[in-house]
A and B are shown apart, each in its own frame.
Chain A
């Protein structure tokens, strides 16, 4: 399905060659670049279409993390005293909930792209990777707005509640953290989307699995509160999302972080993306025959 320039015996030049044997790693990035307008329009569609005929419009983006954080702050912070000392519980939870929702949304939404866009893909050709890329980008845009909300609330705490919130040089890690977060979500999502073309049950499993995974990462409690050597600690350390969430806390509320653990997450991200792309490429060529 890639565009290759081939000369035949008559010197005829071909731009498009459709044949069954094309290796998965032969991803035509040039073609994806040519379709960048479509990518942007699909992102725009996703962002615009959801909030037509709503009163608050895109403001709804902000409600989800805010309410989740407040809920966690109430349930775990006030009652269970899980939050770190000296940090307002709302900020403490938001610093982890915002990136977690980011990850969960990217994963959940990309995992349904092939099935959800089947009506498009059975009618017209475009590089299939455009679909999960567009979903990832549109989710990223709304998640960045949520991140901005965090800064506004933190600033509010500093100005009106007398809490000395500051940022330090660790903010430079933010782009890397975001990259790993999006990469993990995209890679896993693409992997699942390839599998859901055959097994629809996976779609249900994934949204449940993501919730479960949240409790296996330090979203509702700081890692340092978990005893070294305990089983929970082991599970947490195996979870590639743990360093990412801890990293966000370190950047946003200045908690302690062992930055080298981020290499572990990065390794996972690379592996997950490669495997995800391989599976996606294998399925994308002919999945419309069985979907």
Chain B
């Protein structure tokens, strides 16, 4: 049972090592899903999604460096 628990924890750890970063990504994805298709950005929609994700990574790195 403990081996299964460890495997489950390892699987979770594959994707989430900082809960705040994961939460920020989910928040941005929800905003992007609701907002970006309505803004009629044409081919700029994808790049805007990327910029939001890039901003989250930058802020998470600056936060990690301060700790």
**Is B a genuine binding partner of A?**
no
Residues of B within 8 A of A (CB): none
A residues engaging B (CB < 8 A)? none
